[in-house]
Amino acid sequence: MAEEFNTDGMLDMYLFENEQLLEQLQEMVLDQKDADCFDEDSINEIFRTMHTIKGSSGIMMFDNITAISHKLEDVFYFLRESHPENVPHVELVAHVLDVADFITNEMDKIREGDPADGDATEMIAELDKFLGTLKDGAEEEGAAPPPENKHEEPKHFYIAPVATSASRFYKIYITFFPETEMANIHAYKTVYALKEIAEDLLYSPEDIISDENSADIILQDGFRILLQAQASEEEIRNIIGVGYDIEKVGVFECKAEEFLQGFDFGEEESDQPVRIDLESSVEEIETKVQAAEEEKKQKAEKPQVAPGDYVIKSKEPGKHKKLARNKSKTEKTSYISVDVAKMNQLMDLIGELVISESVVLQNPDLKVPGLNLDSFNKAAAQLSKVSTDLQNVIMSMRMVPLTNTFQKMNRIVFDVSRKLGKDIEFEMVGDQTEVDKNIVEQISDPLMHLVRNAVDHGIETNEERMDSGKADKGKVTLSARTEAGKVWICVEDNGKGLERDKILAKARKQGLLEDNKPDSAYKDKEVYQFITLPGFSTNETITEYSGRGVGMDVVVQNIQSIGGTLDIESAPGMGSTMSLKIPLTLAIIDGIVMETGTSSFVLETGVIKEFFRVKEDMMFQEPNGDEYIMIRGECYPVLRLGKWYGLEEYQESVENGIMLILEVEDKKVCVFVDRLIGEQEIVVKPIPSYIKKVKGLSGCTQLGDGSIALILDPGGLVDEA
């Protein structure tokens, strides 16, 4: 035994792999939550998932996870072997999700360095009761019970031979993908899985746990197993499986005599030297050498069946698994897990590189008259190209699909609808849309509030839907799409919609409406925005999910913190749509640099619709001081940036500056600045926390000359105009 064997890597691998398995499990279960029952493939997959988690948890000695995994495995073992009728599907889905939640919580404790001390006793008792109900129903139908799914604690991995007439002997050859980390642990898990059916079991290399170097040997030479068991080849393949770590599995049945020969898997012997008599003539020597080479060539051309040449093809819908010759090695995409903190650090370095590039290209020394900069400009163009490509690559590495986030919302709909007694269907559209990982983390909570409100506030009870003549099932649709560098995420329901009059009455009661402004003067969008204010709720009773007047204001704050906006649309009796408009990324944007007075500002290129010069006669002013401008027969509010921020030495005459038209969500405003500097890539930096928050600003950046420019928030400017 290696005295300094390090289990840290094993723990990281355990957490990583089981997290992936639980995500896949939850996705599979939620996809079939509205079905009548799980299909056969899903039952087998859930059984294998629980079997894998049970095995790896047993290795790591997390007894509570092992126990609960084994109990759920028992349930699906019974379903797989007995195929009972009338299984309570919704209850089964709830049990699977509860077990997944328990294991996830325990893994979170382990990740934080705390003991996995959760008590699974009550949950195991409920599963026992559920399994008993299934068995009682099967007995009433006259079905024979399957053999018990026994679990033994891992002790020693050599099992004494107990051969019978039913025993079969196998030589197994496993090939792992070259990029597989800690292949010895994966091999250990395979041995542990086979142990339950084994009568005799040997493997090579033997010291897969005590010797970390065995991982390299396994990757290079493969992992070999000798198995004596009363099992078919297909059952063995199903236990081992082919996944993201195992590339090929070769299972070869043999005779007992061959089994006893050990790990001789039938490889060809090494080439024997050609025996030559030294007294032979040159012609005789050449003849013997040519004959040997010809024989070697014929052997090479003869098709050989090597261990691992046969693989299980993925099962197509409606077809059985089949064995097929592995004709050629197809190129496989390789993945590597990277700490998010390192990705963020790399993104920061890319940002500094962009700033340094601007410093070089905008250096005042380059403006000296008479300099020949042809070679410099060529080199600068190449640098800019490499810098842009580097940004694109790192940004693509940070982009992750919204699938996992959307699946969490699916779970929320399932849980809340069951507790409220509502029959609700959940639909996902565009869940493969990719967004910066930091953005995904920021929108998870806002989405949770919106989806929960749609289920609680929006969708009526089953009785109310029947009385109003609506479809039996309510429906919540979560969709995502990209448009002009932005991501639109919509939460739509087919419920009762928002009640305009009720919202207005509540707003007037709280003093949010202008005294002299009638209700009819408020547009629907203005009215619906009241529900995003702190402390505003139209629910008369407080429930577990709503009625306290908190939630929607937090949603808006979180969305605005990442430069996003929330749009609300509703039709009485038809439903509501909550639309989030968020940036694809927070790191680097294309912006227009401008100056007002002695200060520099930056605006994102996508919101600027037009630049133009104006005349004084195009401007007009209201008595309260608000300014407007007429452009091609359309009136726009005007915001003078210098006057708005109280700057010094800014242009007061509109004829000496330039006007920009900004458009945000169908709202337009004209912003007046002194001059435009140019377009460049902007590295977004947050405004330091010790500086008081100023309306209309979302961040800052460093320009090529070393000065600081403030990044304007177009949404804030439109709201203030």
Task: Report the alpha-carbon distance of residue 501 to residue 483 in Å, rounded.
Answer: 34
3-state secondary structure of 565: strand
Q: What residues pair up with 487 in beta bridges, in sequence order?
A: 482, 582
In one-letter notation, the amino acid at residue 501 is: D
3-state secondary structure of 209: coil
Residues with Cβ < 8 Å from 230, sequence gap 6 or more?
A: 164, 166, 167, 168, 197, 199
**Rg (Cα) of the chain, in Å, rounded?**
34
The phi-psi region of residue 80 (left if phi > 0; otherwise alpha if psi is between -120 and 50; otherwise beta) is alpha
Task: Report the alpha-carbon distance of residue 26 to residue 472 in Å, rounded.
Answer: 26
Q: Where do we find the tokens 């005042």? A: 364
CB atoms near residue 110 (< 10 Å): 18
Task: Report the alpha-carbon distance of residue 602 to residue 451 in Å, rounded.
Answer: 35
Residue pair 234/321 in contact (Cβ under 8 Å)? The answer is yes
From the centroid of its chain, how far is CA 588? 22
Residues with Cβ < 8 Å from 382, sequence gap 6 or more?
A: none
| Cα angle 490, 493, 496; round to 5 | 135
Residue pair 74/131 in contact (Cβ under 8 Å)? The answer is yes
For residues 562-593, b (16+ Cβ closer than 10 Å) or e, as one string? bbbbbbbbbeeeebbbbbbbbbbbbbbbebbb
Task: Report the alpha-carbon distance of residue 87 to residue 138 in Å, rounded.
Answer: 10
pLDDT of residue 277: 45
Peptide linkage before 205 cis (omega within 30 of 0): yes
pLDDT of residue 601: 92
pLDDT of residue 673: 92
3-state secondary structure of 359: helix
| Segments of the chain scoring below 50 in pLDDT | 1-6, 153-160, 266-280, 282, 285, 299-333, 547-550
SS percent in the chain: helix, strand, coil, step 5: 45, 20, 35
pLDDT of residue 335: 60
Task: Report the alpha-carbon distance of residue 543 to residue 531 in Å, rounded.
Answer: 17
Task: Report the alpha-carbon distance of residue 32 to residue 27 in Å, rounded.
Answer: 9
pLDDT of residue 547: 45
In one-letter notation, the amino acid at residue 603 is: L
* Phi, psi (degrees; rounded to nearest 5) at 311: -125, 160
Residues with Cβ < 8 Å from 314, sequence gap 6 or more?
A: none
Residue pair 124/67 in contact (Cβ under 8 Å)? The answer is yes
Residues with Cβ < 8 Å from 200, sequence gap 6 or more?
A: 159, 160, 161, 162, 163, 226, 227, 228
pLDDT of residue 671: 92
pLDDT of residue 291: 61
* Phi, psi (degrees; rounded to nearest 5) at 492: -120, 140
Task: Report the alpha-carbon distance of residue 122 to residue 106 in Å, rounded.
Answer: 16
Q: How many CA atoms, within 13 angstroms, populate the side-chain half-sphere of residue 28?
A: 20
* Phi, psi (degrees; rounded to nearest 5) at 578: -105, 120
Scanning 143-253, the segments in alpha helix (DSSP H) are: 183-194, 214-221, 233-240
